[in-house]
Structure 1
Amino acid sequence: MKKSYNRLIILPFITIVVLVLSILYLRSSSQRQLSTSYYEQWEHTYIKETDHGKSAYIDSQPKAKHPVSISEGHGYGMLICALEGKKGKVSQQEFEKLNNYYLNHRMDSTALMSWKQIIYKNKIKDEKNNATDGDIYIAYALIQAAKAWPDSKDKYLGEAKAILNDIFKYNYNDELKILTVGNWAGKDSKYYNMIRTSDVMPVQFDAFYHTTHDKRWLEVKASMLGHLKQLSDQHKSGLVPDFAWVTEDSAKPVGPNTVASKYDGEYYYNACRVPYNLARAEDEESKAILNKMMDYFLSKNRIYAGYYLNGKIIDRHQSRTFGAPILFAAICNKKQYDKLFEQEKFILMEPISRNNYYEAVLTVLVAV
């Protein structure tokens, strides 16, 4: 009788365990299929081979007469391949093609990538400046590649360290302990004290410190996060601008048309990446900045394409460029921002954009 009683207790328990494990397996399998599907769509549309198949670039303008590759997009591409490589979904050969293109398009005597290349039929024209965000992502991708393909660890880490050394040589304000936006914003430039808010990447800065043991990366993290917090504190929305002027103890948005557009001082196509950049950070300051911003979006029923810092909408249409980083932050903090997850998960239920590389790559980064 006792054995029968025990069996009655154990059988439902086993059934529940099997059911839970089945659900978890199906969910995990679904997530793997999703990332593979998005990667394949993105690869087919945006990765283009050159140099007789020895290298490959990210085509940021697939509908243009002459393809254009930019270092930011290339860094994203290398990171996606490295992350998928860690899962065994992408071969080292595929990553190497992107890495070869980076190596072939560094600025003279540096490890920094030319920020833009125009690809003609028989030649590639390189711009002479770099963009700091592109090189940050390339260095971080190389660190991830060292984990994906350990046999090439020394090679990839050596390349990453060379980039990081040159960032301090050409893209660093040593007085304010901040990264400048590019080598064109040097000490003699009026842009020397300007930051791009999407260059504030605490997870990457931590990885750079652990890779190089250079304490300047911790100083950069503290200084740039501090300025981002000052910008966040200036508005109830917590929104931050694309670009900001900084001093040792202050930060303020730049004016219109300072760098790229009349919305340089608003939450626009650079600052929209900030939720993505902060989503996995463990420090309290990053969490405070992210949570204030996310709480603002939590009160909205839709995410639109750009905002003034007071929360007023710039462009009243939904854009995955703005929604994908918020979705990623919601995924990383799902209990707190489940409403935003449910609201924005449609982003991962549609094919990626075939003519907007920026929107596509941010969506793929969320998927992988």
Structure 2
Amino acid sequence: MKSSGKRVIRKSALLFCVVLLMLPAGLSMAANQKPFPQHTTYTSGSIKPNHVTQTAMDDAVKTKWNSWKSSFLKPAGTGQYYVKYNSAGETVSEAHGYGMILTVMMAGADANAQTYFDGLYRYYKAHPSNQNPYLMAWKQNSSFQNIEGANSATDGDMDIAYALLLADKQWGSSGSINYLQAAKNIIGAIMSHDVNQSQWTLRLGDWATSGSFNTATRPSDFMLNHLKAFRKATGDARWDQVINKTYSIINSVHSSYSPNTGLLPDFVVLQGGSYQPAAADFLEGANDGNYYYNSARTPWRIATDYLMTGDTRALGQLEKMNAFIKSNTSQKPANIKAGYTLGGSPLVSYNSGAFYAPFGVSAMVSQNHQSWLNAVWTYTANASAEGYYEESIKLLSMLVMSGNWWTY
């Protein structure tokens, strides 16, 4: 009998080892504390789509996530993952930040979420900026080598930092990766390298330290809820100055350059003591001073802060933008164009998910936009697949619209 008992114990131990070997590499088995779906209660008076059930919205997000994951989340050697940015297999830190936020938020719907997140974290650590090892080099090729300069882009740095804070809330920081300490490290680097501490503005990246680039900023980086999370996590009061200055720029540019539309330009420069739209070809192209592929994200980025905190300092700009886009399109999302002047003239004749999906998030700020929000949700959820950028923004916007966004 004793011998038989030992055999049972040995078989049980062997079975346990086999099960461990079958688990995805890097899985630390931490329990999800904020599993999808979250059904977050947003600011009082805000709305969600009300023409479909909550379950239908949750399912639409999961469907979009599975499609996004299949298309763009790829292994990058042992224990690492990256977000495939284009057909050449390149990636950028912007994409990496999106991937880290998405994987931590989809935990609960995806059993491998923490494995993916940790692999993305290890890829970030393997590609440091040459200005500060806690920031991420902004672009790599399909061989995972840095290209076009090993410096950082502020949006990628901010999303990575925010995702690490969320990971601390989701899984805790007592496992193989101390997410909270990693977040504090990159937040400190953002303050020292991505913030102009004379103006308290967000730089374009850690490289933008001279000439007009030193005082320029990019409204699509105005992730106010991220900034508030950085303040909360670190206790660093300097973030209050960045937050206040960011709101100030939103309102001054809106009142001076887009009073009838609320649209913000891709880039803002400081000239003669005031902030104004950048001239054509300031950094990326002819539309640097227009509402184009960077600023298309602002309805999502800025409105998310209102939904999370109720801070009304940018609400006037959001509501002017909502009124403009509803009127300009006859409340038909298919009529949204992929770019506008700040005066509201379309730049192109086609649309893009990078442009229409974020307007669903900004519509959530008031009950006056219920039918419009419903239309944008349906159009976004049923739209054909596009490229990495559009699909990422659609999924991130759907997370917010469905009530499944949460914060640190």
Shared fold (TM-score greater than 0.5)? yes
Match of 2:345 in 1: 312
Matches for 1:164-183 after TM superposition, within 5 Å = 164-183=187-206
What secondary structure, in the 3-state scheme, does the structure 2 residue paired with 1:337 have? helix
- Write the distance in 2 (CA, Å) between the matches of 1:209 and 1:226: 18
Matched, 1:124 2:150: no
Residues 212, 269 of structure 2: 8 Å contact kept: no
Matched, 1:279 2:307: no
- Write the distance in 1 (CA, Å) between the matches of 2:134 and 2:68: 27
Amino acid at match of 2:113: S
What secondary structure, in the 3-state scheme, does the structure 2 residue paired with 1:166 have? helix
Match of 1:35 in 2: 61
Match of 1:51 in 2: 77
User: Which residue of the other structure, out of 306, 324, 328, is the alignment partner of 2:361?
Assistant: 328
Match of 1:16 in 2: none
- Write the distance in 2 (CA, Å) between the matches of 1:366 and 1:347: 9
- Write the distance in 2 (CA, Å) between the matches of 1:303 and 1:216: 38
User: Which residue of the other structure, out of 290, 298, 301, is the alignment partner of 1:266?
Assistant: 290
Amino acid at match of 1:71: S
Amino acid at match of 1:276: W
In the alignment, structure 2 segments of 5+ residues that lack a partner are 1-49, 330-334, 400-408
In the alignment, structure 1 segments of 5+ residues that lack a partner are 1-23
Match of 1:366 in 2: 397
Matched, 1:94 2:116: yes
What secondary structure, in the 3-state scheme, does the structure 2 residue paired with 1:79 have? helix
- Normalising by the residue count of structure 2, what TM-score does the alignment of the two structures yield? 0.78
- Cα gap change, 1:310/1:73 in structure 2, threshold over 3 Å: closer, same or farther? same
- Normalising by the residue count of structure 1, what TM-score does the alignment of the two structures yield? 0.86
Residues 173, 179 of structure 2: 8 Å contact kept: no
What secondary structure, in the 3-state scheme, does the structure 2 residue paired with 1:57 have? strand
Higher relative contact order (CA 8 A, sep 6+): 2
Shift of 1:300: 2.2
Amino acid at match of 2:311: D
Shift of 1:242: 0.6
What secondary structure, in the 3-state scheme, does the structure 2 residue paired with 1:298 have? helix
Shift of 1:272: 0.8
- Write the distance in 2 (CA, Å) between the matches of 1:247 and 1:152: 48
Residues 193, 247 of structure 1: 8 Å contact kept: no
Residues 173, 192 of structure 1: 8 Å contact kept: yes
Match of 2:96 in 1: 74
Give the CA RMSD over aligned residues: 2.0
Shift of 1:99: 1.1
Shift of 1:317: 1.0
User: Which residue of the other structure, out of 194, 207, 215, is the alignment partner of 2:237?
Assistant: 215
Amino acid at match of 2:195: Y
What secondary structure, in the 3-state scheme, does the structure 1 residue paired with 2:140 have? strand
Residues 64, 395 of structure 2: 8 Å contact kept: yes
- Cα gap change, 1:362/1:45 in structure 2, threshold over 3 Å: closer, same or farther? same
